[in-house]
Structure 1
Amino acid sequence: MTAPEATSDTPATPEPKPAVTSWRDSFAVYLQPRVLIVLLLGFSSGLPLALSGSTLQVWMKEAGVDLGTIGLLALIGTPYTLKFLWAPLVDALHVPLFTQVFGRRRGWLLLSQLVLMATILVLAVADPARSPWFAAFAALLVATASSTQDIVVDAFRVESLPESEQAAGMASYVAAYRVGMLVSTAGALFIVSGFESAGLARPSAWMWGYVVMAALVVIGIVTALAATEPAQSKGAEAATHAQNAAERVLHAALGAFSEFLSRKDAFAALAFVVLFKFTDAFSGTMTAPFVIDIGFSKVDYAAIVKGVGLAATLIGGFAGGFVARRYSLATSLWIGGVLQAIANLSFSWLAHVGV
């Protein structure tokens, strides 16, 4: 039998209404085990950033290292910029023993975290007053291990979360990343000050402060052990099992770069990414030693970062979202660029006013 044709007397079957997600369901996605794993990995990614950046610069300033040398230490952050160069290696190569036991993503994750803990401990025993360049080299190792961890966490997050949980996962990751940065800036400075108040000499206080930061890497290690290898990673590993290491690396590298370069105005986009926040990167690198140099204490700086700094970051994030929703992309970028210039000019005013 054929279905009767719809007539004016035959009521049309109503289309199902799209399901409305309740507030409870929207919140519940953040409690999914996969999202919680990503949240804890976000903390692990954010923790090391300041240890080779602003916190290290405060340490060096207190150790008597001149501002010119501290400014050159901005190069320590180079691995975060160039990590795309060895991302294909991380994506394609297997880690002996780790990959067999934990899988491709978790194996690299655990290896990078163990190396990260070891390099932070090496930095802890460095003495910037006597050998600032050894401390800088140790910090470069920390940045390299940290950026490698970032590569793996990004891949793990994308592969382990279904599309419906990607937004919640990214929001959780960014929030926890900020908390990790807060712990390694304000938290580390408060810990060092606490050790000094307990009677430790300043070099010993800084050493034990960094040891505490190294111990916090355990949070990421436990998270990696508790996680499960993404199904997508297992499938990719099985598909490339017959290829040798060189073939896997070449395939991953060519695929990533050719896909990007095939896009319209790829080089213009790359230049924009590099240059739009160029001055912000320079001023951000020197903020901590500059604030200490004009007379603020590290406890003052920690309080600013923890209080006003965190509030400004959160408010700025919501404001940026509003601007991007209200105006065109080009207009939003102009607004951001002008505000960025004004913010950097405020350092000149602060240098004139002082504490």
Structure 2
Amino acid sequence: MSTAAHADDAPTSYKGWAGIKRAFGTPSALTMMLLGFGSGLPFLLIASSTLSTRLRDVGLDLGSIGLISLASFFYLLKFVWAPLIDRYAFPLTAFLGRRRSWLLAAQVLVTLSLVALAYEQPQLGVGGLVLWVLIASFAGATQDSAVDAYRIEIAPPSAQAALAATYTLGYRIGLICAGAGALYLAEFGGWTQAYLVMAGLMALPIIATLLSREPVAPVSTVERRIDFVGAFWQPFTSFFSANGLALGLALLLFVGLFKFPDQVIGVMAGPFYLDSGYTKADIATVSKLYGVWTGILGAFAGGLAVAAFGFRRMLFVAAIAVALSNIAFVLMAQNPSEIWAFYAAITADNLSQGFAGTVLVAFMSSLTDRNFTATQYALLVSLANLPGKFVGGVSGFMVEATSYTTFFVFSALTVVPTLLLLAWLWPRIREASADHA
């Protein structure tokens, strides 16, 4: 795979704590933080707990909330149109360059969608809300693909673990705003005001896109087909040519299962907090404010761990941590309305999520051919979210048929297939890849 980078970047080390501090001092660090903020901001509002909390708050049943969450499925399918992002600039903004043209177009569409969602009244009918969630998720997924490609191409492979942590900082701040910020605004000003303020905050990543530099296109190591079909076909054949069919399929399956225990409970988190007796202000303080900063701590711990030990051992540690953190929600379910139980569960959950997220980003980045950055990374990210998303869509029915406690125990046990697959992959994951993290 190509590891082309700027000549002046090549001798720079980004390993360990000093490397992460150095990454914050690079010219692209602030850009990555703001682009990460732009990716994190809409996610909770259109595809996760803030939206589900809003729907529960206005009286929708759990089954309907789970089904509505499927409207954000474009986040899972972004690899389908990612070849266009890899091959062409977006026509109306092509003057910005291939990566930034897509970024600006997607960010503007996200902003418009949030404004439209602000005025939806789901208690009167969900048709319009579902439509705008579809549009917003398409725009958000496109933005994510462009940001991921930008991050991988703006720095050498040795910087990716550090830049993943830098990006995560911005992403998590976006989650704070869309989580805690939106819930506080909804508590005291209503959901319309909350979504309008969030739409206004999208100005920050838009400005970053306009002021940032376009990455230098990597030197191609493959002969690209210039036809439309080739734009879609070559990124996938390149992945399997590099890894072989059996290993390639195993890697894709492993990525799809890695964060499954966490994603299974994602849609039900907001309703669970409300049903456990916590107010929207409690949820904002503990889950969306304290929890997100805890996640940032976990993300930086993951970056340090990958730099020190490589990602093979850290994949095992992260998978176990994500599964065990779900058991902490059992403690919370058995102690409803107890604020200490809320803090304990959120601490375990967000530390493990942050740690696992950085480890997975570094691992997936090492698998990506820079000739097809957006497509291959989008495929991996989509697979990382696909299984949990579909199970999350029916998770409301699972809770109603059993209980929250049974549901959380089940979600923790889903780590078993992941560990079995990792055992098979263990001798086949090259430790040398850790140098690319």
Question: TM-score scaled by structure 1?
Answer: 0.79
d(CA) in 1 for partners of 2:304 and 2:93?
A: 44
Q: Does structure 1 residue 251 correspond to structure 2 residue 230?
A: yes
Which residue number corresponds to residue 94 of structure 1?
89
Distance 1:157 1:323, change over 3 A: closer
Q: Does structure 1 residue 277 correspond to structure 2 residue 277?
A: no
- Number of paired residues? 320
1:75-112 Cα distance to aligned partner (Å, 9 max, x none): 2342222211110022223322311x322222111111
Which residue number corresponds to residue 166 of structure 2?
172
Distance 1:74 1:161, change over 3 A: same
Question: Is the Cα contact below 8 Å between 2:165 and 2:303 reproduced in 1?
Answer: no
Question: Is the Cα contact below 8 Å between 2:13 and 2:159 reproduced in 1?
Answer: no
1:183 aligned residue (174, 177, 188): 177
Distance 1:134 1:160, change over 3 A: same
Distance 1:324 1:219, change over 3 A: closer
- Name structure 1 gaps, 5 residues minimum: 1-17, 196-204
What aligned pairs does 1:1-355 form with structure 2 within 5 A after superposition?
Answer: 27=21, 29-52=23-46, 53-99=48-94, 101-162=95-156, 166-195=160-189, 205-232=190-217, 243=226, 247=227, 249-262=228-241, 263-264=243-244, 265-317=247-299, 320=302, 332-355=314-337
Report the residue type matching 1:253 in the other structure.
F
Report the more deviating stretch, 163-172 or 31-40.
163-172
Question: Is the Cα contact below 8 Å between 1:295 and 1:354 reproduced in 2?
Answer: yes
Shift, 1:326, TM fit: 8.4
Question: TM-score scaled by structure 2?
Answer: 0.65
- Name structure 2 gaps, 5 residues minimum: 1-10, 338-437
Aligned to 2:277, the other structure's residue is in SS state coil
Shift, 1:232, TM fit: 1.6
Aligned to 2:42, the other structure's residue is in SS state coil
Question: Is the Cα contact below 8 Å between 1:80 and 1:143 reproduced in 2?
Answer: yes
Report the residue type matching 1:143 in the other structure.
S
Report the residue type matching 2:73 in the other structure.
T
1:219-271 Cα distance to aligned partner (Å, 9 max, x none): 111111112322327x88xx98x95xxx1x43332221012223141112212
Aligned to 1:88, the other structure's residue is in SS state helix
Report the more deviating stretch, 72-81 or 337-346.
337-346
Aligned to 1:97, the other structure's residue is in SS state helix
Report the more deviating stretch, 289-298 or 262-271.
262-271
1:10-33 Cα distance to aligned partner (Å, 9 max, x none): xxxxxxxx9999x99974552333
d(CA) in 2 for partners of 1:106 and 1:354?
A: 47
d(CA) in 2 for partners of 1:160 and 1:327?
A: 24
Report the residue type matching 1:222 in the other structure.
I
Distance 1:42 1:336, change over 3 A: closer
Aligned to 1:232, the other structure's residue is in SS state coil
Question: Is the Cα contact below 8 Å between 2:168 and 2:296 reproduced in 1?
Answer: no
Question: Is the Cα contact below 8 Å between 1:160 and 1:232 reproduced in 2?
Answer: no
Distance 1:297 1:119, change over 3 A: same
Distance 1:46 1:71, change over 3 A: same
d(CA) in 2 for partners of 1:105 and 1:319?
A: 30
Question: Is the Cα contact below 8 Å between 1:49 and 1:146 reproduced in 2?
Answer: yes
Question: Is the Cα contact below 8 Å between 1:98 and 1:111 reproduced in 2?
Answer: yes
Question: Is the Cα contact below 8 Å between 2:119 and 2:192 reproduced in 1?
Answer: yes
